[in-house]
Structure 1
Amino acid sequence: MTTATVETPTGAAPLDLARGFLTGGVIGASLAAFVVGCTLGRVPLIIAGPALLAAYALLFRLAGAPRRAREGARAPLTALALIDGREVLRTGRETDVPVRFDLSVAPDGAPPFRIRFTQDVHVSELADHRAGAVLVVRYAPDRPWLLRIVKRPTPEWEDRAAGAVLEPAPGPVVVADRKDGCLWSLTTLLGVLLGAAAVVLLMRAELFGKDTDAPAARPVASSSTSTSTSTLTVTATVTSSATGTVTFGPGRSVLDRGVLREAVQSLTGGGDGKQALTVVVREQLLTVVFAPEGVSAPAFDPRSLPFDRVPALVEEARTTLGVDAPHTWQLSAERLAGALTIRIGVTGAGGSASLEADGQGVVVRRSPVR
Structure 2
Amino acid sequence: MGTTGQGQAGQDADEANGQTVKRRSAASGFLDALRLSVTSGVTGAALAALVVGVIMEAVPVFVTGGGVLILIGVVAGRRSPAGEEPPAGRLALARIEDLRATNGEMADVPVKFRLTVAPDDRPAYRVKINQAINLVDIPFYRPRGTAVVTYRPDEPWEVRIVTRPTPEWSRRAEEAEIDSAPESTLVSDPGVSEGSWCVLCLLAFLAGAALVVLLFRGELFTSGDGEGAAAKPPSSSSSSTSRTFSTSTTVSGPSTSLLTFGVMRVTAMELEARVDTAYVTAITIEDHRMAVRGDSTRPVSETVHLQSLPYELFPGLVREARTTLGVRDPRSWRIDVTPGTGAGAGPRVRVTVTGKEGTAHLDADATGRVTDRRVAAGSRDLR
TM over 0.5: no
* Greater Rg by CA: 1
**Which category describes the TM-score, using the shorter chain as reference length?**
0.3 to 0.5
TM-score by length of 2: 0.41
Q: State the TM-score, normalizing by the size of structure 1.
A: 0.42
Kindly indicate which of the two structures has a greater share of residues assigned to helix.
Answer: 2
